[in-house]
Structure formats: structure tokens, C-alpha cells
Amino acid sequence: MSKSKDFLRTIVEEDLKSGKYKEVVTRFPPEPNGFPHIGHAKSIVINFGIARDYHGHCNLRMDDTNPTTEDTKYVEALKDAVQWLGFDWGNSVHFTSDYFPKLYDYAVELIKMGKAYVDSLTEEEIREYRGTVTEAGRRSKYAQRSIEENLDLFERMKKGEFKDGEHVLRARIDMSAANMKMRDPLLYRIRHAHHFRAGDEWSIYPMYDFAHCLADYIEGVTHSICTLEFENNRDIYNWVLDTLGLKPPRPYQYEFARLNINYTVMSKRKLLELVEGGQVSGWDDPRLPTIAGYKRRGYTPESILNFCDGIGIAKANSMVDVAQLEFSIRDDLNTKVPRVLCVLDPLKVTIVNYEGSEEIEASYYPHDVPKEGSRKIPFSKDIYIERDDFMENPPKGYFRLTPEQPVRLRHGYIISCKEVIKDTNGNIVEIKAEYHPDSKSGSDTSGIKVKSAIQWVSAKEAKTVEVRLYDRLFKEEAPEGVEDINPDSLQVIKNALIEPAVITEKPDERFQFERQGYFYADPINYSDEHPVFNKIVGLKDSWGKKKKTGEPVPKPQAKKVQIDGEVVAMSEEQQALFDKYTNALGLNSEVANTLARDEQLSSFYEEALAVLNSPVGLANIVSNDVARELKEKQANELKFNAKQIAELVKMVDDATISNKIAKQVFEEMVKSGENPTQVVKDKGLVQISDPSIIAPIIDEIIAKNPDNVAKFKAGNTKLLGFFVGQVLKATGGKANPKVVNELVAEKLK
Ligand code: ATP
Ligand code: MG
């Protein structure tokens, strides 16, 4: 169970404690009209997770009330997703269509109570009669039909005597209700369509608002958990169950915020467009946010579950950074999977002073967690290295092979370049090199200093593999459509070279290709004759480094070995620091890794820590902002010191300034070396948390935006973010976002 209890679990616990229910029953109710996506994963984790945590059960129910869009292949995909995430729906999958006869009877009952009537207005008239947010609606003249007439018409609708759209069944509630959804909602409509399970038996199909609450009731569901856009439907949910006077206990509906992720689209409709339009290879294309896509790409169920746990359950919609999902798969695979050598863009190297061959024993798990398992890497005079690991005229800070600079072959010897061979066009086609016999990794007595270790393979034994490099499908953070597709989202390399053990020993399906990223043997196209690997994710977040314009910055040239990929094993000292940071101080392994491997950073961090006991806050700023400065300068060239950074973090900790303002103060410290307290004072940046100062600003913004207030009240809850944003803007970013959020929500209630 996650560390802190979310609001749904709080409700469930109270209901069990008060005896309202003996057992908690939830359900996951997808419509089988597309493959499930990561948003559904969140819903699955919530519904099945709550059932598991409180020893109840969760039904998997296909909400199949719309015959024209549904299909068994989607049912199978939904079952697959739930199973893959590790959940169990018990004996059988439920289908709303199985309840069609019961639902029909309930509708007849409502008619008999005078609570439902057959309306014969056109769709357009129905819309017109409904009124607007500010105007009451009017009731249709057909609402005066007698119960007998309604019963007769409804039965004939069922028998298929009328055309689509000729009549509908509506609830008789209130045409002037403030909640527009309560203005005599539709319960049934005529659809002469083949249903993938019910066949041609039905000519009428129940609407969501009628079918959902009753399906919940029929199944004995206690907590009907759905996403926020159903908030206004809750009144109908209650109305149907209450009006029918059903025997208790009955279910209640609760809403949470749906998951949104940047750089992708999430609705099944938009995903279907991509699949049908051929922009992707199918529902399981590894670039799609579908569960099938993640599965095919190589994500583990654990990484998805951890991600869902990490984002929590909120009551306000927000956007989650896809980097967080990418972090969680990296974090899961980091210590689990074997690390091997693969060359994506091979450059031939001939080691002129080496004769014969040998095998180098190397652990699959050289880092962090000592896990058992090793392989033999063949070595000979003909090898391949990565083309960009050699430069003839390197820029300053290039730490790999050059005519002047030796480099270590990972797990092997140090080599020096002797000659560069080019074709007639001046392209480098081969390097002639010499190896240093006494420099072998693990028994190096050569005394030669190298700054980097690179991947390589022996030409004779290496296996050719296809590698599919996947990147984000969209180049825009909030993509509109196909025009925002990232043209480089898939790059296929047909002739990458990999060390042979990966294919012959198959120690795993997932690997870290050292310095390249994490890869997965494609579950569909892989064969020993034609191995195919999918890139799951890179070793680092490369998007975070991109410039505002969206143009990729050229790969940063490594200044230190550790930035150049996780090639070099940690020294004992570094390992000890890493352990302390992760175990005692609670840093995540990426941050701990960055700090532990860099002496300047770790000593800066330790110095700040001696002044202020805020390990995580300090680690974040040191591993990001300070590290960035230290890439360009030496520690003694910095204008600020560790003590000042501690002072800055302290102001964030005690809520004097916000995180955002802290960035601004840091920039100022970089430039002027001024004390943070002084910067905050001079620029008037102290965070405003006092509600009596913030409230009037909110009032003003509410008064200025009556249209948006109306839209919000009519159900567009996304506008909460708009109001919060306006307030933050009005205060130059100084208002405490938490306080603003709470106050705005309060005032708009
Ligand atoms: P889409 O708009 O993507 O088609 P949907 O809401 O129509 O999704 P359903 O099949 O009706 O999809 O959803 C099944 C369950 O999953 C519902 O309870 C729904 O609230 C939930 N769900 C759908 N999308 C998300 C999301 N992005 N985050 C959390 N839960 C979601
Ligand atoms: Mg839907």
C-alpha cells in the first residue's frame, strides 16, 4: 500500500468502520472501444488496489452499451492489460450487456411510477429545449403522454418498430435544474445495430447514466470510482437508484482526477485515429501510451505500478511530466538487468600490435548491487567501436579516443590511435591502433591515464542486430494532432553489432547497452537469426536538456567520465558515498549517483549539509543547478558557496520563498554572488502566504472573468488551473501556490 492514505482509501476505511458495508466492492468499467492506455492503468491500480488493500474484490466490467464502436478484440486487450499489471478479476468478466433484460425492467418500472416518458422530439429540438446554463429549459409536450401510452411505445421501441432517433426514453426530473444533466436526461435510444455480444436482439440501448449506476448496483459495488468529468452525472446516478427505491446497500460515486501526460495523446478516439491513419504500426506500437505499447517497448509492470503510486490520487486535474514515467522504468531496470556492450554505428579499429585472441571475463552486473552472473567477451585485433567515440579534431572537453588521447575499451585494454584511414571522400573508414598489454581492466599497471571507457565488440564474434530507437511520438508538449508528430520518433538501425553472449546466453530479455540506454528483445519480431531490440529509454533524460525552441542541443561533450554514461565502476569511496546518500539520506539513485561520482559536487554537497540538515532539498539543487555551473567553471571560480546554497534551501524549506522564486534567486547568486537573503529582500521576493492578502486578488480575478466562472460552474473544472495561474501571475509568482489553490477552490465552490 502507498505510504500516505489517499482520499478514496479514507472514505473506504470510514465506510467499513461504520458498518455501511461489510465488504468493499469496486469495479473497473472500460468501454471496449479501443486499447487501454496509461490513464486506464491509473484507474486499474486505484480500483483493484483498493479492493486488494481492504480484502474486497474488484470486477472487470465491459461497459458495452454502444454497439457501433465495440469489439471483442478490445475486450481481450483490456483483459491482457489488467492481467499484465498483476491483478485478478476473479471468476468471470462482467458485461453490461448481460444486464440488458434487467435494465429494461427497471426502465418499465420508472415509466409505471410516472418517472420516465417516451419523447419524440428530434435530437436538435431536445438540445434546444434543454436551455442554457443561465436559462431554464422547457419540457417537451410528449411528456404528457399517459403511462399506458409510454409503456406501449417503449415496448414497440424495443421490438424495433421505429427508426433510429424517432423516440427516446427520458427521465422526468427537472427541466430547470441548475445541473444541466438533470434536465430530463435520456435513458434509452433506438439503435438498429449489431451488438458484438447481444447480437441483433436489441433495437434500443441504455445510456451511460442509466446503465452504469444500475450495473454497479446489480453487481453489489460499494464504491463506484470514476474520473472528474462525471462529477455532474453523480446527481443522475443517485436519482436513478433512489427513485427506484432499491434495497440497500447501494453504491455511491466518487471522482478523482484523470491522468494526463505531456508529449502524447490519451483518448481512445485519438489513439484510434493514429492507428487507422497508419501513423503508428498498430495499437501496440511502442511509441503509444497504450499498455500494449509499453509492454511491447519493454516497460515492466512494476515500473507502471510505481509510477501510478508516485503520482498519487488527486481531486484536481493536472499534467504529469512523461519524464516521471521514464524515470520510473530507469529506476526499475537500473539494478535489475545485465549490462552489455553494443555498437550502434560501428567504426572499424585494427589493433596492429595484437596477435591471436582471448576471452575477457566480465560481470553482467558491474554496478551498485552485486548480482551474480558474468560472461566472456571475445577480444581480438579486429574490433568495432562507436563512430562518435573517435574524433580527429576534438573540441575541448572531448574525453574519448583521439589521435593524442588514449581510451579504455570497457572491461578490456587501453588503446591509442596510431593512424586514421580515410576513403577518397575524406570519410574515416578505419583506425589503426595499438593496445597497451599491461593495461587490462582489473590488473592495470600501465600508469596510463584515460578519461573514458567505451563500448566495443570483436569483429569476428559480434552478432548483427536490428535496433529500433524510439523517442517521444509528439514534439509538442500538448499535441493537437498528427501535425505535431515528432518525425524522429522511430529510427531503425539494421546493422548494429552486439557482443555474442547476449544472443547465445540470453541472460535476460532486457538489457542496459552500456552508455546507450535500456533495450528489450522485441517480443514479436525477435528471433535468433534476426535479433531485434527496442529501446525502452535512454540512460538520462535527454529532453530535459533541450533548448526552448525545441531544437535538440548537440549531445553534451563529456567533461567528466561519469557524464559520459555509466561506464566506469565506482571507486570504493564513491560507492560508500552512494550508499550513504541512498540509504541514510534517502536520495533517489540518480541524484545519489550524480553526486557520489563527482568529487567537486559531493564535497560541495557535504559542506552545505553541514550547515543545513535538508538532504533532499540540497541534493536537488546541487545535482542540478550547481552541477550545471560546475560544468563550465571550477569550484573556486563560482561566485556563491555551499553555505549560501544552504541559506537558499532553508528559505524554501520554511516557505519564505517558493521553489520557482528559488531558481530566480539562484540565477542572481550566480551572477552577483549576493547572499540569497539579501537578494530576496532587495527584490521583494518573499512568498505571500497570508490569505487576507491573496483573497482580494482572487476576488478581482473572479470578477474580471465571469465567462470562465460560468464555464467552471457548468462543469469545466480544468479552469481551476486558469484561475490559479492568473493569481500567481498577478503576484509575480510570489503567492504561495498551495494557498492560492485552496483559496481559489473554496471561492469557486
Ligand atoms: P478515453 O477518453 O481515453 O476513451 P474513457 O474515459 O472513455 O477514456 P473508459 O473505457 O470509459 O474510457 O474508461 C474506463 C475507466 O477508466 C473509467 O472509469 C475512466 O474514468 C477511467 N479512465 C479513463 N481515462 C483515464 C485517465 N486518463 N486517467 C484515469 N482514469 C481514466
Ligand atoms: Mg468513454
Active-site residue identified among 138, 139, 191, 258? 258
Q: Is the CB of 31 under 6 A from ligand 1?
A: yes
Q: Closest residue (by CA) to atom 22 of ligand 1?
A: 40
With a 6 A CB cut-off, is 523 part of the ligand 1 pocket?
no
Residue 590 pLDDT level (bands cut at 50, 70, 90) = confident
Q: How far apart are CA 304 and CA 85, in angstroms?
A: 8
Report pLDDT digits (tens) over 334-361: 889 999 999 999 999 999 999 999 999 9
Q: Cα of 324 to ligand 1 centre, how many Å?
A: 21
Ligand 1, closest atom to CA 42? 29
Rounded to two decimals, the pTM is 0.75
Return the ligand number nearest the Cα of 33. 1
Element (H, E) at 334: helix 322-334
Cα three-residue angle 603-604-609, rounded to 5 degrees: 95
Position 636 confidence tier, pLDDT thresholds 50, 70, 90: confident
Q: Give me ligand 2 centre to Cα 31, in Å.
A: 6
What integer pLDDT is reported at residue 550 of this predicted model?
42
- Start-to-end CA distance of the chain, whole Å, equals 32
Q: Which domains does the chain have, with CATH numbers?
A: 99-213 (3.90.800.10), 347-358+373-457 (2.40.240.10), 572-683 (no CATH), 691-747 (1.10.10.410)
pLDDT of residue 556: 35
Helix (H) or strand (E) holding 198: none
Q: Which of 545, 548, 498, 562 is nearest to 526 (CA)?
A: 498
Q: Does residue 31 carry a catalytic annotation? A: yes
User: Which ligand neighbours the alpha carbon of 227 most closely?
Assistant: 1
Q: Which of 322-326, 546-550, 622-626 has the lowest mean pLDDT?
A: 546-550
Q: Which residues pair with 169 in a beta bridge?
A: 118, 188
Other beta carbons less than 10 A from residue 231's beta carbon: 17
Grid coordinates representing 102 are 434487467
Q: Which of 659, 654, 657 is nearest to 680 (CA)?
A: 657
Kindly compute the dihedral angle of the four CA atoms of residues 335, 337, 340, 344, in this order, to the nearest 10 degrees. -110
Q: Which residue has the higher pLDDT, 705 or 141?
A: 141
Q: What pLDDT was estimated at residue 458? A: 98
- Cα-to-centroid distance, 269 and ligand 1 (Å): 11
Q: By C-alpha distance, which of 135, 124, 143, 132 is closest to 184?
A: 143
Active site (annotated) includes residue 258: yes
Report pLDDT for 723. 87
Average pLDDT in the 282-293 region?
Answer: 98
Q: Are 448 and 435 in contact (CB under 8 A)?
A: no
Query: Residue 258 CA: which ligand 1 atom is closest?
Result: 28
Residues in contact with 156: Cβ distance below 8 Å, sequence separation at least 6, in sequence order = 162
Name the closest ligand to CA 42. Answer: 1
Of the ligands numbered here, which is closest to the C-alpha atom of 230?
A: 1
Cell of 29: 468499467
Cα(30) to centroid(ligand 1), Å: 7
Task: Label residue 415 by pLDDT band (50, 70, 90).
Answer: very high
Q: Which of 170, 234, 250, 268 is catalytic?
A: 268
Judge if the beta carbon of residue 489 lies within 6 A of ligand 1.
no
% residues pLDDT > 70 (the chain): 95
- Selected catalytic residue, list 13, 31, 109, 477: 31
Separation between Cα atoms, residue 421 and residue 202, nearest integer Å: 76
Burial class (CB in 10 A: 0-12, 13-18, 19+), 106: buried
Atom of ligand 1 nearest to the CA of 34: 4
Ligand 1 pocket residue status of 444, Cβ below 6 Å: no
Q: How far apart are CA 33 and CA 78, in angstroms?
A: 10
- Within 97-192, strands assigned E span 116-119, 168-171, 186-190
Cβ 273 under 6 angstroms from ligand 1: no
- Contact 418 CB / ligand 1 (< 6 Å): no
Residue 229 Cβ inside 6 Å of ligand 1? The answer reads: no
Distance from Cα 590 to the centre of ligand 1, integer Å: 33
Please give the distance, rounded to the nearest whole angstrom, from the Cα atom of residue 33 to the centre of ligand 2: 8
Q: Is 555 a catalytic residue?
A: no
Q: Quote the ligand 2 centre to 707 CA distance (angstroms).
A: 27
Average pLDDT over residues 522-526: 97
- Does 370 score more than 90 pLDDT? no
pLDDT band for 372, please (50, 70, 90 cuts).
confident
Given a cut of 70, whether residue 652 has pLDDT beyond it is yes
528-567 pLDDT, tens per residue? Answer: 999 999 999 999 876 654 434 444 434 333 323 333 333 4
Per-residue pLDDT averaged across 81-100, rounded? 97
Kindly tell me if the per-residue pLDDT of 95 is higher than 90. yes
Summarize the confidence of residues 112-141 as an average pLDDT.
Answer: 96
Most informative mutation of 209, 258, 320 for ligand 1 (most atoms within 8 A of CB): 258
39 Cβ closer than 6 Å to some ligand 1 atom: yes
User: Quick check: 34 and 288 in contact, CB under 8 A?
Assistant: no
Ligand 1 contact, 258 CB (< 6 A)? yes
